[in-house]
Amino acid sequence: MPFRASAAFTVIAALISTLLALSGCSNESEPVQNKIVVLTFNMPHYKDGFSRWVAEFHKLHPDIEVEQIDRKGSNWGAFYHTQVISGTAPDIIDTQGGAWLQYASQGGLLDLTPFLEKDAEFTANFYPELLQSWIYEGQNYGIPLYFTKTLLFYNKLMFQEAGITSPPNSFDQLMEYAYKMTKGEKSGFMTLNFDWLYWSLFAMNGIDLVTPDLRHAAFNTPKAIALIERLAKATKDGAISNISWTGRWVEPNSMFAAGQIGMLQAHSTALLWMLSNTSWINENTIGFAQMPGNWSTPNAHALHISADSKYPQAAWDFIKIATSGEGAYSLGISLNNLTGDRFVNEKILDYFSQTKPIVVPLLRTQQEHLNTLVGNWPLANDAEIKEALYPELQSALLNHKSAADALSRAEKKVNHILSRDDRTAQSQSSVSGGQ
Amino acid sequence: MRRHSLWATHLLLSTTCLVMLVPFYWLLKTSLTGENLFSYPPALLPDNPHIFYYVDAWYSIPFVRYLLNSVVVSAIVIVANIIFNAMAGYALTMDFKGKRVVILLLLSCMMVPYQATVVPAYLLTKELGLLNSHLGMALPLMSTIVCIFMFKASFAAVPRSLIDSARIDGVPEWQIIFRIMLPLSQSAIATNVVLAFTWSWNSFLWPLIILRDDNMQTLPLGLANFLSVVEDTSGALYAFCIMVLIPGLVIFLLAQKQFIQGLTTGATKG
Amino acid sequence: MTVKFGIGNKRLRESTLIWFLLFPSLAVFLLYRILPLAWNGVLSLQFWSMYKPPRFAGLYHYKELFLYDDVFRQSLWNTLLFMVGSPIGIALGLMIALLVNRPIFGRNIYRTIIFMSFPVMTVATGVIWLWLFSEKTGLINYFLMYIGLIDHSQPFLEDFNLALPSIVLVSIWQVVGLYMIIILTGLQNIPPSIYQAAKIDGANSWQQFWLITFPLLRPSIFLCLIIGIINSFNAFDLVYVMTGGGPGHATELLITYIYKTAFTLARFDYAAAITVINFSLFLALTWLVNRMSGGNAGAVETN
């Protein structure tokens, strides 16, 4: 019948032309052969510094071009995953926190252990404990670019008003001080909650996330229930601000900056933000201390090499430039952060002692107690576990659910995730290795 | 129009306008002063307004280039939309086998979650060789189903007598579309322009994924990158919002007159 | 309006013409909606790490979603609740469109102001309303306490019960401009002569509305209903900026869950399964609405 024929014809023509287009008569210029792509995480203001890295790099590899792509945190995942799927993963990626685990566990990242062993002199620059943060199943996948970890900021004025003379040295004291400083709109204590930053509170109460073999949830204990009930009550009483559990970055820091919080657990970047937004913050009004027990959660950035990078050696050379020596120094002073390189850090502290002295005691806390880092378990499904656990905790802490109920549900979910082997099984069957 | 009904109309509309405007007023005010982001109580009048945030945004990024990129992409999208949607809308006014299927197909295309399409869309666009290009950015937006249906409804309202007499006179179909029906569907065209512009101008996720070059960035993207270090907390963010918003409003203002009933259609629509 | 021709060459020419007219649009949708949907459909039946080839998984992900994943169930429920707000928005849009369509002074201004919410980037809308709803510094709490409606600040976006309604409110604020513009376009299609004839016959405004305007607006209202179904897609940025899906997934929608699963957790296979379910749900609702409007996308037979 004529209708069917013409309709069919048009549809087939459409499909053929689409297929032709899809079958790769693409005139897109193939990626320039000698190029490495570096995907950075939220450093748009470091363009000059990056060019200096590239200049250094070209001394070693004058024929390899460097392309930088910078993406904001919330967009980084979308961009990176799309690149991976389309087969054009960036040679070097800059990740934050534990995101690298899911990539490493699936074989997406290059094992850097051989490189570290070969370049022993370079490796010796780093704090050994920090370097361990990027070990998964015995292999090292990342080199620290810059790092921060949590500490306790405290408002000295509020301390004085409440008659407190020094920062708390135990969890009970922390709670006691929190209650003492709570008055009206002001709360005694607040913490950031993303990326496991709150976990020091659990660690100082002897609660672990998982069993040592990383196979089962270990946080559903009577101690944990008691802790959460205590924290929930304090939240209800206003001693702990409820923004601790619902805020992300801006709200908690701005409340502290507005003088409404007695003690804030945050990582060191918070100070820079607060300094630029207030005028009253200085050495006399704000103090820094480790959390009781010296527990802290790191929030670090690291550089990794893609498993299928065509220029792993060149990428490694670039990483060395960015993470140690002069390259790291210029990054550190630009971001007001410490790097992974011990010697560079001393130089950075020297620099700040002359230009911004208030930062020095802050940064010193970042260097100390790297052996009591928590919140950095090498779990392949770290991100999923976080997503499974935190909302339950949040519900309990906001008194929306009982602690026992929340923990038992979270335990079930986490165990389910840990036992699910649909992807880790795949990673074991892959051959990951350099070229 | 009776007086109290006029009064009531104005009252209702004014109240609605007020509700709609409050956020804008605040957006504008904060972009000019950066105050009240962290302090309380909120001040009703701006204190020391300045245009520093706008200036900052203008100079911190290659503003004009990004603006041009956005303009080019939106222009492609608008033109393609009008042509493709009018064609499809016209086809849908005719009766043909499979029409029901096509309609359901179009409706179901609207149901596909957009974010779930960007990765396969990227792969397709890569095959087409259109990554990192204006055309590549415009392609997914070149036709919109909402506008197809609006054209369909507008064309359906054109009196049959006009079409029949044109057919009898032997006018070819495409001329019927472009010489008779489109001119009588000003309102649908105007809406199409406004919607296509808005959706392409504000498009964020797609350009983010397919653009790599710095000089191809569109305005929302470029400004977002500029703001990333301040973590979206200063008056600069608000200035950004206003700057991205203004062209859309201008387009709507220009398209305004097409929404006045009776002016162009009264004489010809029986 | 239907056009029927006779048999033979004319029919062939007409069918070719029709498909030719439909081709460009259909091509765009094929490339950017249908093929991606198929990609997701196939992927939802596989295990896939983005670094490796996929393996067949059958209904594993669907079982996971329905049997284990309470976040999915919460998102589904939230999405359904979210849709409940759309009739309100459409009713408002209809009312406003009718009002600004009258020959009153200043209607251009009214129209522009009310429409202004639509071209704002959703991210920007989220940012400003995030501040407006803020418990400590926001205008809404300030205002409500000022007029005495509440006695202390409400944490709108941090409250398990208030967060989703707050987002729905903002979504309505944002989309009412779109509804208005669609209905205004639809109003243009009604010839004024019909009203004149009705007036002569003695019909009052109310009757004119119910017997003329409303039926003839059916295509526009149908379109608005469809937009209402998928409106949670537009709310993506709102949720992302204002609550991040919280507190505790109280504002998690299917679309935000899809995004997080794909772009934060890199679980594209799982996200694909959620996509398929989201699509199917909306499709079923659309089919329902289409049925209820006469099956032709609400088209009106004029004579």
Q: Does the pLDDT at position A140 exceed 70?
A: yes
Q: Are residues A358 and A383 in the same domain?
A: no
Q: State mean pLDDT over A245-267.
A: 88
Evaluate whether residue A310 is within a structural domain.
Answer: yes
B232 — pLDDT class (breaks 50, 70, 90): low
Report residue B255 CA to chain centroid gap.
12
Q: Are C67 and A412 in contact (CB under 8 A)?
A: no
Q: What is the pLDDT of residue A12?
A: 53
Residue A315 has pLDDT above 80, yes or no: yes
How far is the C-alpha of A19 from the C-alpha of A324, rounded, in Å? 49
Partner C contacted by B230 (CB < 8 A): no
The Cα A31–Cα A233 span in angstroms is 58
CATH of the domain at A359: 3.40.190.10
The size of the B-C interface in CB pairs under 8 A is: 310
Cα-Cα-Cα-Cα dihedral of C23, C28, C34, C37, to 10°? 180
What's residue A262's pLDDT?
94
Identify whether A272 is part of a domain.
yes
The verdict on residue A408 lying in a domain is yes
Exposure on the CB side of residue C84, measured as CA atoms within 13 A: 9
> Across the strands, what pairs with B72?
none
Model confidence over B5-41: pLDDT tens digits? 788 888 888 888 888 898 888 888 888 887 766 666 6
Whether the Cβ atoms of residue A426 and residue A400 lie closer than 8 Å to each other: no
CB contacts of A3 in chain B (<8 Å) are 96-97
Q: What is the pLDDT at residue A20?
A: 43
Cβ pair B225:A86 closer than 8 A: no
* Radius of gyration over every alpha carbon of chain A, rounded to an integer in angstroms: 25
**pLDDT (average), residues B56-71:** 84
Co-location of A251 and A219 in the same domain: yes
| Separation of CA B247 from chain center | 10
Q: Can you give the pLDDT at residue C211?
A: 82
Token digits of residue A254: 């701005």
- Asked whether residue A13 is domain-assigned, the answer is no
Mutation for testing the B interface, residue in C7, C13, C33 having most B CBs under 10 Å:
C33
Note whether residue C3 is domain-resident.
no
Give yes or no for a contact between A96 and A300, defined as CB atoms under 8 angstroms apart. Answer: yes
A397 and A364, same structural domain?
A: no
Contacts of B36 in chain A (CB under 8 A): none
- Print the SS3 string covering B7-40: HHHHHHHHHHHHHHHHHHHHHHHHHHHCCCCCCC
For the beta carbon of residue B51, count every other beta carbon within 10 angstroms.
Answer: 11
The DSSP 8-state label assigned to residue A301 in this structure reads: E
CB contact under 8 A, B143 and C121: no
Residue A284 falls inside a structural domain: yes
Compute the half-sphere exposure of residue A361: CA atoms within 13 Å on the CB side of its CA. 11
Phi, psi of A268 (to 5 degrees): -60, -25
The answer to whether residue A216 is domain-embedded is yes
pLDDT on residue B181: 81
Q: How far apart are CA B254 and CA A181, in angstroms?
A: 58
Q: A391-427: per-residue pLDDT in tens?
A: 999 999 999 999 999 999 999 999 999 988 654 444 4
Per DSSP, helices labelled H in C101-217 are 107-115, 122-132, 139-146, 163-188, 192-200, 205-208, 214-216
State the pLDDT at residue B267. 37
User: What is the pLDDT confidence band of residue A254, given thresholds at 50, 70 and 90?
Assistant: confident
Residue A381 counted as domain residue: yes
Q: Confirm or reject contact between C17 and chain B (CB < 8 A).
A: yes
Q: Of B11, B90, B117, B175, which to mutate for an interface test with C (greatest number of C Cβ within 10 Å)?
A: B117
Q: Which pLDDT does position B59 carry in this prediction?
A: 79
Residue C200 has pLDDT above 70, yes or no: yes
Give the model's pLDDT for residue B171: 81
* Percent of chain A's residues with pLDDT above 90: 65
The closest of A386, A74, A390, A404 to A244, measured between CA atoms, is A390
- The distance of Cα C300 from the centroid of its chain, to the nearest Å, equals 22
B97 closest CA partner among C292, A2, C222:
A2
Closest A-chain CA to C25: A14
- Mean pLDDT lowest for which of A84-88, A320-324, B197-201, C108-112? C108-112
B208/A71 Cβ within 8 A: yes
The residue of chain C nearest to residue A382, with distances taken between CA atoms, is C265
Q: Please give the mean pLDDT across all residues of chain C.
A: 88
A181 and A165 in a single domain? The answer is yes
Token output for B121 = 């869309």
- CA-closest candidate to residue B252, choices B204, B198, B203: B198
Return the closest-CA partner of residue B222 out of B73, B34, B54, B64. B64
Closest partner residue to B241 among C121, C222, C287, by Cβ?
C121
| pLDDT tens, residue by residue, C230-247 | 999 999 989 988 898 888
| Spatial distance between the Cα atoms of A259 and A158, rounded to a whole number of angstroms | 8
A303 in the same domain as A293:
no
| Cα–Cα distance measured from residue A401 to residue A393, given in angstroms and rounded to the nearest whole number | 9
Tell whether B68 is within 8 A of chain A (Cβ): no
Give Cα separations from C208 to B8, C77, C293 (angstroms).
Answer: 19, 39, 20
Beta strands in C16-101, from DSSP E residues, in sequence order: 46-47, 55-56
| Residues in B touching A28 (Cβ below 8 Å) | 126, 129-131
| Cα-Cα-Cα-Cα dihedral sign, residues C93, C99, C101, C107 | negative
Predicted confidence at residue B265, as pLDDT, reads: 40
Return d(Cα B184, Cα B168) in angstroms, integer.
20
Q: Are A271 and A309 part of one and the same domain?
A: no
Question: Are A27 and B129 in contact (CB < 8 Å)?
Answer: yes
In tens, the pLDDT along C144-184 reads 988 888 888 888 998 899 999 999 999 999 999 899 999 98
Quick one: average pLDDT of B119-148?
94
Contacts of A6 (CB under 8 A, 6+ apart): C12, C15, C16, C19
Residue of B nearest to C106 (CA): B10
Q: Is residue B60's pLDDT more than 70?
A: yes
> Higher confidence at residue C216 or residue A222?
A222
Residue C228 corresponds to which amino acid? G
Residues A201, A61 share a domain: no
Distance from CA of A413 to the nearest CA of C (A): 8
**pLDDT given for residue A425 in this prediction:** 43
- Which candidate from B127, B225, B232 shows the least CB-CB separation from A44? B225
What domains appear along chain B, each with residue ranges and CATH number? 52-265 (1.10.3720.10)
Nearest to A84 among C51, C246, C265 (CB): C51
Using CB atoms within 10 Å of the CB of residue A428, give its burial: 0 to 12 exposed, 13 to 18 middle, 19+ buried: exposed
In chain C, pLDDT over 70 holds for what percent of residues?
94
Top pLDDT among B219 and B59 is at B219
* Cross-chain residue pair B127–A71, CB shorter than 8 Å: no
Residues 293-352 of A with CB under 8 A from C: 307
CB contact under 8 A, A258 and B205: no
Q: Do C26 and B37 touch (CB under 8 A)?
A: no
Is B85 in the C-facing interface, judged by CB distances under 8 Å? yes
For B64-99, write each residue's pLDDT tens digit. Answer: 889 899 999 999 999 999 999 999 999 998 888 888
Mean pLDDT of chain B: 83
At A416 the pLDDT is 92
Say if residue A61 is in the same domain as residue A92. yes
pLDDT tens for each residue of B41-54 = 667 777 778 888 88
Q: Is residue B269 left, alpha or beta, with left meaning phi > 0 and alpha meaning psi from -120 to 50?
A: beta
Query: pLDDT higher for A93 or B160?
Result: A93
Q: Which domain holds residue A108?
A: 35-148+299-368
Quote the domain boundaries for residue C70: 60-292
Same domain, A235 and A380: yes
Counted domains in chain A: 2
Residue A135's H or E segment, with its range, is strand A135-136
Chain A contact for B245 (CB, 8 A cutoff):
no
Q: What is the mean pLDDT of residues B129-138?
A: 93
Transcribe B36-83 into DSSP letters. Answer: SSS-SSPPSS-SS---HHHHHHHHHTTHHHHHHHHHHHHHHHHHHHHH
Which residues have CB under 8 Å from C299's CB, separation 6+?
B152, B153, B156, C218, C219
Q: Is A263 helix (H, G, I), strand (E, B) or coil?
A: strand
Q: Is residue A266 domain-shared with residue A163, that is, in the same domain?
A: yes
Q: Provide the pLDDT for residue A88.
A: 93
Q: Is residue C188 part of a domain?
A: yes
In sequence order, which ranges of A61-197 are alpha helices (DSSP H)? 73-85, 100-105, 113-118, 120-123, 128-131, 156-162, 171-181
**Is A417 a domain residue?**
yes
Interface of C with B in 43-82 (CB under 8 A): none
Residues A229 and A288 in one domain: yes
Question: Ranked by mean pLDDT, which of B96-100, B129-133, B160-164 comes out on top?
Answer: B129-133
C10 occurs within a structural domain: no
Interface membership of A67 toward B (CB under 8 Å): yes
Q: Looking at per-residue confidence, does C38 or A356 come out higher?
A: C38
Beta-strand ranges (E) seen in chain C are: 46-47, 55-56
Residue in B84, B112, B191 nearest the CB of C279: B112
Q: How far apart are CA A351 and CA A354, in angstroms?
A: 6
pLDDT at residue B180, as a whole number: 81
The predicted model scores a pTM of 0.89
Token digits of residue A183: 């008055």
Mean pLDDT value across residues C262-269: 92
Q: How far apart are CA C201 and CA C171, in angstroms?
A: 42
User: Could you tell me which of B80, B77, B29, B75 has the C-alpha nearest to residue B53?
Assistant: B29
In CATH, what number is assigned to the domain containing residue C74? 1.10.3720.10
Q: How many domains does chain C have?
A: 1
Each residue's pLDDT tens digit, C106-123: 888 888 888 888 888 888
Q: Which amino acid, residue A68?
A: Q
Distance CA A240, CA A231 (A): 8
Give the pLDDT score at C241. Answer: 86
Mark which residues 201-220 of B lie under 8 Å from A by CB: 205, 208-209, 212
**If we measure between CA atoms, which residue out of B111, A244, A362 comes closest to residue C275?**
B111
Helix (H, G, I), strand (E, B) or coil at A36: strand
Q: Are the beta carbons of A3 and C240 separated by less than 8 Å?
A: no
Residues A172 and A283 in one domain: yes
Residue A132 has pLDDT above 50, yes or no: yes
Tell me the pLDDT tens digit for each residue of A199-226.
Answer: 999 999 999 999 998 889 999 999 999 9
